[in-house]
Amino acid sequence: MLYAILCYNSEDVVGDWSPAEDAAVMARLGTVEAGLAAVHRLGAVARLLPTTAAVTLRKARDHLVIDGPFAETKEQLLGFYVVDCGDLDAAIAVAHDLAVANPDRGAYEIRPLAVYRPGGLGEARPRRAVSTRG
């Protein structure tokens, strides 16, 4: 079974790290990653870019795109898709397709990713294909 480990911290605190502080943290994380990679348990490693780069597609009768990662507090992050899109509009189109496929209430937060290490899980196979519209 695959797990996504979503890392929460203060965006302002992490954003204020100096390049040396960021490199030191990434080196410590790299030690953990190397151990996982050695036993073929490490997938992709990515940091979400700032929330100022995010938009949310609200699912309702008429879909609405708003700035920011603003899902209602009664909603929880349940999972994510990684998609390869040419630009934000293409990513919004993918989110729209997902909203049509799952028309219940909720939201899709759309955020650019900075991939640090692509990773690989050996024999592990994804349960669902990833949409790559663009």
Distance CA 31, CA 15 (A): 22
Residue 119 φ/ψ region, left for φ over 0, alpha for ψ in the -120 to 50 degree band, beta for the rest: left
The pLDDT value given to residue 129: 39
- pTM for the structure as a whole: 0.58
- The average confidence (pLDDT) of the chain is 75
The pLDDT value given to residue 19: 93
11-117 CATH, one of 3.90.1200, 1.20.120, 3.10.360, 3.30.70: 3.30.70
Distance CA 48, CA 68 (A): 13
Burial class (CB in 10 A: 0-12, 13-18, 19+), 91: buried
In the numeric block, the tokens 């929460």 are attached to 8
Sites in the chain below the pLDDT cut of 70? 1-5, 7, 69-79, 102-104, 115-134
The pLDDT value given to residue 70: 63
The pLDDT value given to residue 123: 47
Instruction: List the domain boundaries for the chain.
Output: 11-117
The pLDDT value given to residue 130: 40
Return the closest-CA partner of residue 115 out of 46, 43, 54. Answer: 46
